[in-house]
């Protein structure tokens, strides 16, 4: 049983270890998808690759059936920001696709633990502004993670994400969709907004795990949900990028559970101590 402190689930080291296993499944699945993205492949084919990869790893896709979601990944193309449903859409040269993946791994008691991450991948050659958009969203995620330390507050992350995006040019940052706590469920308190002032929200403590996921656009931050009740698109049709990792804080530093190296390389570049257990 995990402890809850004011709605925030505090994981034991053993439970975090199970989340690391889920995170590795997610990270490896996303790398397989990155390799598979090319002009001519459908988002449905990417979903099949992901489901096969997750299940053959002994894990369960967390998205499949989540509030009725019909697939194992979200695949959001161009002006679709998040929650795109994989299907017959054929990726074309010059597109950009956000791939969001979640997996569940059971601990020895049979309880399931989640990992959640997303990457945005150019399909072949894309315009420079799209390459830059993808880079800004990913870097903002890392800056957000790097801003988290024991004793800090959740919106320290939000402020760092926003500060980085704003420093890079005129971009939209979605405010109606946020990162989130994660553990025995994919989405838990607290929300992790991508904008805001630092020093607010729950305190960052050992055993907390958070998914940080900036959603950045080339135009407006205003979005709508399509008639499929899932796909979130920009109102101005400008393109979007989305980047996500699940991380935790240990007594020795930061551990990015969905990064294959635990985040060690990027954290070092950002001057943040790596707090992971070497696999």
The binding site for Mg ion (CB under 5 A) comprises 100, 116, 118, 211, 244
Please state, in angstroms and rounded to a whole number, the distance separating the CA atoms of residues 30 and 147.
25
Q: How far is the CB of 14 from Mg ion (least distance, A)?
A: 23
Other Cβ atoms within 10 Å of 182 Cβ, number:
30
Quote the tokens at residue 19.
């989340």
Return the number of the residue (18 or 273) whose C-beta is nearest Mg ion: 18
**Strands laid side by side in the 253-256 sheet:** 188-192, 179-181, 209-212, 245-250, 253-256
Please state, in angstroms and rounded to a whole number, the distance separating the CA atoms of residues 261 and 204.
22
**Is 99 exposed, middle or buried (CB count within 10 Å of its CB: 0-12, 13-18, 19+)?**
buried
Please state, in angstroms and rounded to a whole number, the distance separating the CA atoms of residues 159 and 209.
18
Give the bridge partners for 113, in sequence order: 105
Q: How far is the CB of 100 from Mg ion (least distance, A)?
A: 4
Return the number of the residue (11 or 110) whose C-beta is nearest Mg ion: 11
Helix, coil or strand: residue 188: strand
Return the number of the residue (100 or 162) whose C-beta is nearest Mg ion: 100
Q: How far is the CB of 92 from Mg ion (least distance, A)?
A: 24
Q: How far is the CB of 189 from Mg ion (least distance, A)?
A: 13
Return the number of the residue (63 or 171) whose C-beta is nearest Mg ion: 63
Return the number of the residue (202 or 214) whose C-beta is nearest Mg ion: 214
Q: How far is the CB of 104 from Mg ion (least distance, A)?
A: 13
């Amino acid at each position: 049983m995990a402890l809850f402190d004011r709605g925030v689930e505090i994981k034991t080291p053993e439970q975090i270890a199970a989340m690391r296993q889920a995170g590795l499944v997610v990270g490896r699945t996303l790398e397989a998808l990155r390799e598979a993205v090319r002009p001519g492949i459908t988002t449905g084919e990417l979903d099949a690759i992901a489901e096969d990869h997750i299940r053959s790893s002994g894990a369960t896709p967390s998205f499949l059936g989540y509030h009725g979601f019909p697939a194992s990944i979200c695949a959001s193309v161009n002006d679709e920001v998040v929650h795109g449903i994989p299907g017959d859409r054929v990726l074309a040269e010059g597109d950009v696709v956000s791939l969001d993946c979640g997996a569940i791994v059971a601990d020895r008691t049979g309880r399931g633990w989640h990992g959640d991450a997303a990457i945005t991948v150019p399909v072949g050659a894309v315009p420079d502004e799209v390459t830059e958009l993808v880079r800004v969203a990913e870097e903002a995620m890392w800056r957000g993670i790097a801003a988290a330390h024991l004793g800090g507050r959740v919106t320290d992350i939000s402020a760092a994400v926003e500060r980085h995006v704003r420093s890079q040019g005129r971009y939209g940052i979605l405010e109606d969709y946020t990162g989130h706590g994660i553990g025995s469920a994919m989405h838990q308190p607290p929300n992790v907004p991508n904008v805001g002032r630092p020093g607010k929200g729950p305190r960052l403590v050992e055993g907390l795990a958070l998914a940080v996921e900036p959603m950045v656009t080339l135009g407006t931050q205003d979005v709508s949900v399509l008639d499929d009740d899932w796909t979130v698109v920009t109102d101005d049709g400008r393109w979007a990028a989305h980047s996500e990792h699940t991380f935790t804080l240990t007594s020795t530093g930061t551990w990015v559970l969905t990064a294959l190296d635990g985040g060690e390389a990027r954290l070092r570049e950002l001057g943040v101590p790596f707090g992971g257990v070497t696999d």
